[in-house]
Amino acid sequence: MDYFNYKDGELHAEEVAISELATHVGTPFYCYSSQTLARHYRVLANSLEGCDFRICFAVKSNSNIAVLASLGRLGAGADVVSAGEIRRALAAGISADSIVFSGVGKTRDEMAFALDHGIFQFNVESQAELHILNEIALSKSQIAPVAIRINPDVDAITHAKISTGKKDDKFGVPIQQALELYAQSQQLQGIRFQGISMHIGSQLTQLAPFRQAYSHAAEFVKTLRAGGHIISVIDAGGGLGIPYCEESEPPLPHDYGAVVKEIFAPLGAKIILEPGRLIVGNAGILVSRVIYSKYSHERRFIIVDAAMNDLMRPSLYDAYHAIVPVSEAHNATPLTPADVVGPVCESSDIFAKDRLLPDFKPDDLIAFRSAGAYGAVMSGTYNTRLLIPEVLVNGAQWSVVRARPTYEELLKCESIPGWV
Ligand code: LLP
């Protein structure tokens, strides 16, 4: 459920008319709903009531500091994958002791930065990484709190480009190897093992892969404990999918939480979850304006001012994003198939193919739904298009939480050497 609804014939974000935002901010822009963020956060948190848990929001899914601050106020920590994301989480007021640091390629500088700030946990993904972390911690007379990220070799049954827990994926350490790693590394003075972590993929639409991976993980925790290791943290990762279209019915957060609880609560460890999309995916839309509409070889093309550089998901993963008119009156006009495309000079700059849509005219406003996760964060400036603004709404209030840069700002990091 989200708070993007029609009121008085106009799409609104909570109490704010999208057309009003478009007039003030210009298109295209992202718009996020605070109440939707809060609702999603609370639904998941409620499902874990009674457990010692923390929801560490996956910053990679939406790293706007106003979004992070909103979630931080609700009690969220952060799952980060770079020093840049640590900086964002800290800037948003999320305390270091609720930050977990994931990722297969943490650099020495990033590890040092994370140690200096006293983060809660490093989710380590290889022996090589563990040894470097040990070295850096010792050089600072510190002890790094570590969980090994296991790769449970489970098929997440999701898009191949967002699967992370199969044996061919680059992520994590196979369970057998992880066991050896815990055993061999006890003498590393700069490392304190405190838990295990995992993340098997994103946009999972079934509970079975979670159940399977979590059961392997629970067995692993028991084995480690039997070997004398203290395992007080279980980081179960993120990955629960969201409905991108009306027909899709991913598991309810409540049911997912029940699986987490059933499998991990008996182990009496602190449970960490790293959801991104579940919290923010349906809390954001991308608003765009129709530039032209044309017919070519019998096909109808709707050319809009947003493009693949603003929302990459359709071109990268053939992802589906529902497209709705901002003016509800359009919904009463006949629907005919159309391709919705952006102005970028690439054939893959397509948001939708053969989508049944109203008769949009130039200047009409449309919204791409479910664009809050992996939207703005993955955008770029291809074709020298400016990054687009982000707007956060709460009730009747709204603010631009990332301004549209100027062309001067875009060009200012570049220079022409004297020898050219
Ligand atoms: N934890 C780790 C270690 C991750 O790698 C990810 C996502 C998450 C948590 C959060 O997963 P979520 O709850 O959002 O599914 N760009 C792709 C998704 C890439 C996901 C990468 N890792 C997309 O647009 O679908």
User: pLDDT tens digit string along 256-278?
Assistant: 999 999 999 999 999 999 999 99
Q: How far is the CA of 112 from the centre of ligand 1 (A)?
A: 24
What pLDDT score does 309 carry?
A: 98
Atom number, ligand 1, closest to the C-alpha of residue 103: 3
Q: Which residue among the candidates 56, 245, 345, 413 is catalytic per the annotation?
A: 345
The closest residue, in CA terms, to atom 7 on ligand 1 is 202
126-142: average pLDDT: 97
Residue 209 has pLDDT above 90, yes or no: yes
* 4-31+281-411 topology per CATH: Lyase, Ornithine Decarboxylase; Chain A, domain 1 (2.40.37)
Residues 9-40 have pLDDT tens digits of 999 999 999 999 999 999 999 999 999 999 99
| Antiparallel, parallel or unpaired: β 336-341 and 350-357 | antiparallel
Distance 238 CA to ligand 1 centre (A): 7
145-170 average pLDDT score: 84
pLDDT at 227: 95
- What lies within 8 Å, CB to CB, of 408 at 6+ separation is none
With residues binned 3-state (H G I as helix, E B as strand, rest as coil), the percentages for the chain, rounded to 5, are 35, 25, 40
Tell me if 272 sits within 8 A of 232, measured CB to CB.
no
CA of 59 to the centre of ligand 1 (A): 9
Confidence of residue 254 (pLDDT cuts 50, 70, 90): very high
Query: Where does 103-273 sit in CATH, by number?
Result: 3.20.20.10
* pLDDT (mean) for 173-201: 95
CB distance 66 to 393 below 8 Å:
no
pLDDT of amino acid 168: 78
Question: What is the pLDDT confidence band of residue 108, given thresholds at 50, 70 and 90?
Answer: very high
Q: Residue 369 C-alpha to ligand 1 middle, in angstroms?
A: 18
Sign of CA dihedral 320, 325, 326, 332: negative
**What residue owns the CA closest to ligand 1's atom 5?**
199
One-letter amino acid at 170 equals: K
Q: Which atom of ligand 1 is nearest to the CA of 159?
A: 25
Q: What is the mean pLDDT of residues 298-321?
A: 97
Is the predicted pLDDT of residue 376 greater than 80, yes or no? yes
Choose among 401, 65, 54, 390: nearest CA to 234. Answer: 54
- Looking at residue 177, what is its pLDDT? 94
Ligand 1 center from residue 201 Cα (angstroms) = 7
**pLDDT for residue 167 is more than 90:** no
Residues with CB under 6 A from ligand 1: 58, 60-61, 79, 102, 162, 164, 199, 202-203, 237-239, 274-278, 313, 317, 373-374
> Residue ranges of the domains in the chain?
4-31+281-411, 103-273
Closest to 124 (Cα-Cα) out of 96, 109, 102, 108: 102
Residue of 57, 164, 202, 274 with the most ligand 1 atoms within 8 Å of its CB, for mutation = 202
pLDDT band at 285 (very low <50, low <70, confident <90, very high): very high
Query: For residue 164, how far is its CA from the centre of ligand 1 (angstroms)?
Result: 9
Closest to 323 in 3D by CA, of 310, 309, 304: 304
Per-residue pLDDT for 63 more than 90? yes
C-alpha 6/C-alpha 18 separation (Å) is 10
pLDDT of residue 289 exceeding 80: yes
- Give dist(CA 103, CA 183) in Å, integer: 22
User: Exposed (0-12), middle (13-18) or buried (19+): which is 76, by Cβ within 10 Å?
Assistant: buried
pLDDT tens digit string along 76-98? Answer: 999 999 999 999 999 999 999 99
HSE-up (13 A, CA, CB side) for residue 53: 26
The protein residue whose alpha carbon is closest to atom 24 in ligand 1 is 374
User: Which structure tokens are listed for 407?
Assistant: 């062309």
Annotated catalytic residue 345? yes
pTM for the whole thing? 0.97
State residue 1's pLDDT score: 85
Beta bridge mates, 145: 192
Which pLDDT score is estimated for 156? 80
Say if residue 250's pLDDT is above 90: yes
According to the model, what pLDDT value does residue 169 have? 79
Same fold, 4-31+281-411 and 103-273: no
Question: Which stretch of 167-171, 178-182, 251-255, 353-357 has the lowest confidence by average pLDDT?
Answer: 167-171
Per the CB < 8 A criterion, the answer to whether 124 and 148 are in contact is yes
Section 34-48 average pLDDT: 98
Quote the CA–CA distance of 132 and 144 in Å, as a whole number.
Answer: 11
Cα–Cα dist 190/122, whole Å? 12
CA–CA distance, 119 with 77 (Å, rounded to integer): 11
In this structure, the residue with its CA closest to atom 19 of ligand 1 is: 162
Tell me what the pLDDT averaged over the chain comes to: 96
Q: How far is the CA of 20 from the centre of ligand 1 (A)?
A: 32
Confidence band for 161, pLDDT divided at 50, 70 and 90: confident
Q: Residue 136: CB partners within 8 Å, gap ≥ 6?
A: 108, 111, 112, 115, 144, 190
Pocket mutation for ligand 1, best pick of 63, 166, 199 (most atoms within 8 Å of C-beta): 199
Given a cut of 80, is residue 160 above it in pLDDT? no
CA 382/CA 329 separation, integer angstroms: 34
Pocket test for ligand 1, best of 60, 158, 256, 315 (most atoms within 8 A of CB): 60
Q: Give the residue whose CA is nearest to atom 23 of ligand 1.
A: 374
State the closest ligand 1 atom to the C-alpha of 378, by its place in the atom list counted from 1.
16
**pLDDT value, residue 123:** 98
The whole-number pLDDT of residue 248 equals 87
